[in-house]
Amino acid sequence: MGTKGYGKASGAGTIINAIATYKGSAFGIELWTHAEVELSDDFRGIAGEIELNEDEISDTSLIERCVELVLKRFGLPLRGYVKTQSDIPIGTGLKSSSAAANATVVATLAAIGEEMNAVDAIRIGVQAALDTGVSITGAFDDACASLLGGVVITDNKKRELIKRVEKDSEVIIFVPQTKAFTADTDVKRSRLIAPWVNIAYDLALEERFEEAMTLNGFLYCAVLGFEPVPMLKALECGVKGVSLSGTGPSFVALVDEEKTARLHEAWDELGVEGALLKSRINNQSLYPI
């Protein structure tokens, strides 16, 4: 007789990309990943399944590693099956990996009837991301935003949550059709901009999030080779906070209702193949802090 557990976690957008300095900031967005974990002695080892569109490639190593680490933590047999489903585009900088890891850890804990502190649960997913080569820093900032909601500021090297605040804002997301996976990023080149990223991080600590993310966006566009035109278009519309999200290629903007339609039209006029998504900051913490 097996047991099942369920979990979910949100996507996230970038305020400060932590690759240059190991210090980051992100906010949860209302795009979701759901995970189902089934545990049974009938399984041989741990296997996984990701529900994807036909043209996407499925790599289940991250979610399988998450199940494994949770079961090891509690000294349980390593037998189970994990399945995830998501409306977060993969490889676009919207933290699909962090969401998948968080949802899987929560689902596994539910399946075994255990709870743990939210940050400890997040750290398991971060370790799984490092173990499987999905992330360079472990993306602790993205993972915190994904599970805790709101705006978070973190030290990724120490895996510490520095600050969490709630912020009400609509979010417009520009998702070009191209993909950009974090594991392929040139880390040495990214660290050249560390002094200026630190300035953006200090702005975030002062809760000047729009200024912080806009400075972050221009810095990382330069170092990662992305055209900043979507950011400039947003600024022309009066948007105060816009950034490349993660290592791209998506751009995220914090907007009020008045600027939403204007920015949507401006980004649509760029004629770049892809999608425009409308969401909000998710302020709901999905697991006990």
> How confident is the model over 194-205, as a mean pLDDT?
98
Task: Note the pLDDT of residue 231.
Answer: 98
Q: At what angle do helices 257-268 and 229-236 cross, to 10 degrees?
A: 140
Q: What are the distances in angstroms from CA 263 to CA 29, 233, 252?
A: 18, 8, 11
In sequence order, the 6+-apart residues with CB closer than 8 A to the CB of 37 are 4, 5, 6, 7, 67, 80, 81, 82, 83, 104, 107, 108, 110, 111
Pairing of strands 251-255, 241-244: antiparallel
Task: Note the pLDDT of residue 143.
Answer: 98
Contact 75, 58 (CB under 8 A): no
The overall average pLDDT reported for the chain is 93
Q: Could you tell me the domains of the chain?
A: 3-165 (3.30.230.10), 170-280 (3.30.70.890)
Give the tokens for residue 191: 């660290």
Task: Note the pLDDT of residue 287.
Answer: 81
Contact 258, 107 (CB under 8 A): no
The answer, yes or no, to whether residue 268 has pLDDT greater than 60, is yes
Q: 3-state class of 285 per DSSP?
A: coil
Task: Note the pLDDT of residue 179.
Answer: 63
Radius of gyration over every alpha carbon of the chain, rounded to an integer in angstroms: 18
The fraction of the chain above a pLDDT of 70, given in percent, is 96
Contact 142, 10 (CB under 8 A): no
The answer, yes or no, to whether residue 34 has pLDDT greater than 80, is yes
Task: Note the pLDDT of residue 100.
Answer: 97
The answer, yes or no, to whether residue 57 has pLDDT greater than 70, is no
Higher pLDDT, 211 or 288: 211
Nearest-angstrom CA–CA distance, 248 and 270: 17
Q: What are the distances in angstroms from CA 13 to CA 81, 141, 233?
A: 29, 10, 19
Beta-sheet strands, E only, within 17-104 = 23-39, 46-51, 80-86
Length of the chain in residues, anyone?
289
pLDDT tier at 288, thresholds 50, 70, 90: confident
pLDDT tier at 11, thresholds 50, 70, 90: very high
